[in-house]
Amino acid sequence: MARKPKASDTSALVAVKPAEITPQPITDTIEKNYMPYVMTVIISRAIPEIDGFKPVHRKLLFTMYKMGLLSGPRTKSANVAGATMQYHPHGDASIYETMVRLTYDHEALLHPFVDSKGSFGKHYSRDMAYAAARYTEVRLDPICNELFRGIDKNAVDMVPNYDNTKTEPSLFPTTFPNVLVTPNVGIAVGMASNICSFNLAEVCDGTIALLSNPELPLNDLMDIIKAPDFSTGASILYNRTQLKDIYRTGRGSFQMRARYAYDKKENCINITQIPYSTTIEAIVKRISDLVKEGKLKEITDFRDEIDKNGFQLTLDLRRGTDPNVLMRKLYKLTPLEDEFACNFNVLIGSTPRQLGIIEILNEWIRFRLTCLTRELTFDLDKKKEKLHLLLGLGKILLDIDRAISIVRNTENDTDVIPNLMKGFSIDEVQAEYIADIRLRNLNREYILNRISEIEALQKEIADLEATINSETKKKKMIAKQLKEIRDKYGKPRITQLIYDEDVEVYDEDEQIENYPVRLVLSHEGYFKKITMASLRGNDEQKFKDGDGLHFTEEAENIHEILFFSDRAQVYKAKLSDFGVTKASLLGDYIPTKLNFDVGEKCIAAKSLAAPDEDTGTFIFLFENGKGVRIPAASYATKSNRRRLTGAYSDVSPCVGIYYLAAEEERELLLVTNNGKGIIFSSALIPLKTTRTSAGVQLITLKNNQTVVYTATEYASLFSEPPKLRKLKLPAAGTSLPEDFKIPFSQEPS
């Protein structure tokens, strides 16, 4: 009898034919698998619609509305978060985070929708965490009445929730352009939205003006809706041209500045408002870094003094510091001046569109006209139903006894309605209404009082029909509502405007203290900036063992300085960036101070008052016997670049760099490794405008011969230079005297 194979027997394993792989075009994969996700993110998550809300905002606020939180006491935030999951099944944590941003205490909105109690963190701080939902309490703010007005009158479509157990509004019938009043940020797939907030009163006035004049010029609208307005206040640097582009296209950016007050008694600056786009942690970190780098010597201490009274960042000043100049410096160097980038992407009919301000308001007006028409139609239908019932009631007024007799003499209950319909020529709805009247009300007085409403009702119906059919009347109704909202909820502008003529910009050069200095660079790259007063009576320079003087000159503290490296790079710095030192100290090690590349050495330096205006030239002499002159202006830069690559040709190592003032000429000495040299005028070296030019041959070299030394001051090296001076180049070298010896380092350039 055959043995039944065990699972562990390899002989029992059956070879399985690998599944065939069917090639699938990547475009099909993207279309079937990725595109549905993309569309969901764009339409159902990240981009706000014309009512100014994303789906999560709408679901949260609608849940609170259904919970009756427009009136009465607050409830725990956890209750709201849990109830919202009936419409938004993405976890209570994300729902609660959304609620936090809508609260008073978070201070992210000009007009918060949630009246809150508890700790909800702050928009201007990323580290101030909000309390757990079980500790905080919320209810809807009264302004939410304007979000839901007409929602029970079929003003908007009600759609099923995710499991078809409830319905929710597809949009809110907001009675004001909330899309421009509530700031919104959303990042979708392939697009994003960043809508700044505007002042409610200004938006209402601008919309009213557009309702009365659909062709309102953009300039006129800008006079009404002056600029964005933020809950954090601060100031906008008002550039009308820049803002006009944003208003017209829905895209652009503008600058914001923090606001401050100087406390003369305490000698400190209190920063009370910061740009909406930054946080106090970002500001404090940047100030801390600048203090450590020695770039904010005017500040002795700084601290976060945020408390229940609001935002405050305090800066203690060094005695004699001008607070206004310091703030201009801080605006330039820290996020106390920050940029807000606008991208007005809005969903219109499930289609993302980038719109300008007038286009957004026109879309809102169209949306609001639709909502109002649906509300009025709902009211009209209700009044027509009531009129229909009253007309039926009027028919029994002529013979009340007959109506009573019909009801009394009908044997079956189901026959009452048909008998009344037949007896008075009325329809079923009217008969039902009459049959439901209580016996005590079947009297002439009651019926007369009811049917007396018919005339007023008919007039109201006629008015409603006229309004529904007239766009002008509906626009007047919208304008009236906007005026009421402006008067009830409008607030003065919080964000101030600073016009171009009032903007003060920090000029670093004006703030630098100027005084004469002596510059010293050693052969190994140690640099000193020494005041002339410090040199009096003691000008003996200290160097490391084996090091010595390579460069020295007198300059002014406001000058710039160029440091040339052995890798054909030049590093730019301001003399004011270096601290004053003494001759007895080693000074700053330049490769470390200016972040040279690993192994890179400093071979020359030169201070310039203004590189972009300098008319002098640099002479570069190379090991291969070539040389070139480059204009000093070639090293000027428009930006604050610290390093320039390609400072000179890297074809051959550089053995000498010299600066010549305009129309200055010098005699130069070149010495080769075989003991020969030449002396010639710098005027013989051609001027090239390209920094990396390899130059022309100056001295004729044979195999393995190189230039090893150059100099401009050579009188002390010879008793009488023997036939070294050359009038034409290139020239062959002449043998040097036997007593000639190359010094330790080259003399100053």
Would you tell me how many other CB atoms lie within 10 Å of the CB of residue 615?
10
Share of the chain above pLDDT 70, in %: 94
CA distances to 111, 576, 600 from 230, in Å: 10, 39, 50
> Side chain identity at 656, as an amino acid letter?
G
CA distances to 33, 203, 571 from 629, in Å: 64, 64, 19
Report d(CA 99, CA 357) in Å as an integer.
27
List the beta bridge partners of residue 340.
Answer: 254
Query: What's the whole-number mean pLDDT along residues 581-590?
Result: 88
Query: What's the whole-number mean pLDDT along residues 610-636?
Result: 90
Pairing of strands 313-317, 268-273: antiparallel
Q: Name which residue leads in pLDDT, 116 or 582.
A: 116
Is residue 1's pLDDT more than 50? no
Query: What's the whole-number mean pLDDT along residues 554-581?
Result: 89
Each domain of the chain, given as residue ranges in start order, spans: 53-173, 259-335, 366-477, 508-735
Q: What is the 3-state secondary structure (H, E, C) of 385-451?
A: HHHHHHHHHHHHHHHHHHHHHHHHHCCCHHHHHHHHHHHHCCCHHHHHHHHCCCHHHCCHHHHHHHH
Report d(CA 466, CA 471) in Å as an integer.
10
Give the 3-state secondary structure percentages of the chain, helix then strand then coil, rounded to 5.
35, 25, 40
Report d(CA 313, CA 536) in Å as an integer.
45
Q: What is the 3-state secondary structure (H, E, C) of 675-686?
A: CEEEEEEHHHCC
Report d(CA 104, CA 111) in Å as an integer.
8
Task: State the chain's mean pLDDT as an integer.
Answer: 89
Task: Give the pLDDT confidence score for residue 737 in this predicted structure.
Answer: 79
Is the Cβ–Cβ distance between 510 and 576 less than 8 Å?
Answer: no
Annotated catalytic residues are 135
Task: Give the pLDDT confidence score for residue 394 in this predicted structure.
Answer: 79
Task: Give the pLDDT confidence score for residue 9 in this predicted structure.
Answer: 52
Pick the CATH number of 366-477 from 3.40.50.970, 3.40.50.300, 1.10.268.10, 1.10.10.1100: 1.10.268.10
What burial letters (b/e) apply to 446-478, b meaning 16+ CB within 10 Å?
ebeebbeeeeebeebbeebeebbeeeeebbebb
CA distances to 374, 385, 410, 552, 678 from 382, in Å: 12, 5, 32, 97, 111
List the beta bridge partners of residue 643.
Answer: 571
Q: What is the DSSP letter of 12?
A: G
Report d(CA 227, CA 240) in Å as an integer.
9
Is the Cβ–Cβ distance between 387 and 462 less than 8 Å?
Answer: no
Q: 565: helix, coil or strand?
A: strand
Of 62-66, 552-556, 709-713, give the range with the top mean pLDDT. Answer: 62-66
Report d(CA 429, CA 421) in Å as an integer.
9
Pick the CATH number of 259-335 from 3.30.1360.40, 3.50.50.60, 3.30.1370.60, 3.40.50.300: 3.30.1360.40
Query: What's the whole-number mean pLDDT along residues 328-332?
Result: 92
- CATH number of the domain at 53-173, please? 3.90.199.10
Is residue 272's pLDDT more than 90? yes
Sheet holding 235-238, edge to edge: 184-187, 192-195, 337-343, 251-257, 235-238, 496-499
Is residue 477's pLDDT more than 60? yes
Express each pLDDT in 174-224 by its tens digit. 999 999 999 999 888 888 999 999 999 999 999 999 999 999 999 999 999
Share of the chain above pLDDT 90, in %: 58
pTM of the model: 0.72
Q: HSE on the CB side for 183, CA within 13 Å?
A: 22
Tokens of 93: 């944590």
Task: Give the pLDDT confidence score for residue 4 in this predicted structure.
Answer: 53
Is the Cβ–Cβ distance between 256 and 276 less than 8 Å?
Answer: yes
CA distances to 184, 205, 213, 227, 489 from 221, in Å: 22, 9, 11, 10, 21
Per CATH, the architecture of 508-735 is what? 6 Propeller (2.120)
Task: Give the pLDDT confidence score for residue 749 in this predicted structure.
Answer: 42
Task: Give the pLDDT confidence score for residue 15 in this predicted structure.
Answer: 60
Query: What's the whole-number mean pLDDT along residues 548-564?
Result: 89
| Alpha helices (H) along 525-634 | 532-535, 590-593
Q: What is the DSSP letter of 31?
A: I
Identify the band that residue 747 occupies on the pLDDT scale cut at 50, 70 and 90. very low
CA distances to 26, 39, 87, 145, 348 from 36, in Å: 15, 5, 20, 35, 19
Query: What's the whole-number mean pLDDT along residues 656-685?
Result: 90
Is the Cβ–Cβ distance between 373 and 474 less than 8 Å?
Answer: yes
